[in-house]
Structure formats: structure tokens, C-alpha cells
């Protein structure tokens, strides 16, 4: 028996569909990560003056870094897994490519929000993760 390709394996559509579902899950995680990044850098979010619920502030405080780690590793794994499949069906390949590009864009966007705020703090002579005294969680 010669080496089998992706199309010759019996579950190629199932594998591609599973990869697509994982990609959509990573896209949703990356959307939440971008939203959390904006919330973390909004001073009224920490002051409870913007109408944000207290549990949301605690949720962002506790789960931002785990979500950042999960999203980064998940998108990297998704990209590597998609590149490892030699002949994915064309419809899955096109949609999966768009999902991966969207995931990377959201991930880079959420990191740039945090980096931009930190650079502004350093440029203004403030500490790296500065928040006004009244905005400390």
C-alpha cells in the first residue's frame, strides 16, 4: 500500500469539519479576547461608572490572561493543523483560510490594544500598567 493522501482516507470530510468547528471556536474566543482587551484599557470599566456589571469586571480580571494564552496557542495549533492536511476539500479550505486569517487579525488586534496603552503610559512617564488611582481593581 502506498502512502495515503488526505482524500484517500475515509474520514477526510469529518476531519476537515472538525478542524472547521475548532477554527470557529477559536474565532469566538479571539472576539471575546479583543472585547476584553478594550474593557481592560477603559478606565470607566474599572470605576463601575460605565454601567458595566461587577461580575463582568471580575470575569475580565480573572480570565483575560488564560483566554489570551488559550487563544494564542489555539490559533497557532489551528494554523499548524490546517497546514498539515495536504488535500483538504476546496470548500473547507477556503472557509478555513478565512477563519484562520480572521483569528490572527483579532489576536493581533487585541495585543495591539494592550501594547498601545502600555507605550502611551511609558511615553507619559507613568508605570507600564498604569491606571488612575480611582480605577484600580
104 vs 76: CA distance, rounded Å: 9
* CA pair distance 95, 51, nearest whole angstrom: 38
Q: What is the pLDDT along the chain (137 residues), one digit of tens a residue?
A: 444 444 556 677 777 788 889 999 999 999 999 999 999 888 788 887 778 888 998 999 899 999 999 999 999 999 998 888 767 777 778 888 899 999 999 999 999 998 888 888 788 787 766 666 555 55
pTM passes above 0.85: no
Rounded Cα–Cα distance for residues 131 and 33 (Å): 20
Per the document, the length of the chain is 137
On whether the CB atoms of residues 61 and 137 are closer than 8 A, the answer is yes
Which secondary-structure segment (H or E) carries 99? Answer: helix 90-123
Q: What is the dihedral of CA 51, 56, 62, 65, to 10 degrees?
A: -90
Residues 6+ apart with CB under 8 A from 62: none
Cβ contact 109:34 at 8 Å: yes
Exposed/middle/buried for 134, CB within 10 Å: 0-12, 13-18, 19+?
exposed
Amino acid at each position: 500500500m502506498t502512502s495515503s493522501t488526505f482524500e484517500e482516507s475515509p474520514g477526510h470530510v469529518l476531519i476537515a469539519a472538525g478542524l472547521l468547528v475548532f477554527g470557529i471556536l477559536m474565532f469566538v474566543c479571539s472576539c471575546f479576547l479583543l472585547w476584553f482587551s478594550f474593557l481592560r484599557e477603559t478606565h470607566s470599566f474599572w470605576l463601575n461608572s460605565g454601567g458595566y456589571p461587577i461580575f463582568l469586571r471580575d470575569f475580565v480580571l480573572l480570565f483575560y490572561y488564560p483566554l489570551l494564552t488559550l487563544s494564542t496557542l489555539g490559533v497557532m495549533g489551528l494554523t499548524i493543523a490546517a497546514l498539515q492536511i495536504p488535500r483538504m476539500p476546496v470548500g473547507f479550505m477556503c472557509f478555513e483560510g478565512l477563519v484562520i486569517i480572521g483569528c490572527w487579525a483579532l489576536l493581533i488586534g487585541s495585543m495591539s490594544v494592550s501594547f498601545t496603552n502600555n507605550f502611551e503610559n511609558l511615553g507619559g512617564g507613568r508605570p507600564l500598567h498604569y491606571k488612575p488611582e480611582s480605577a484600580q481593581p
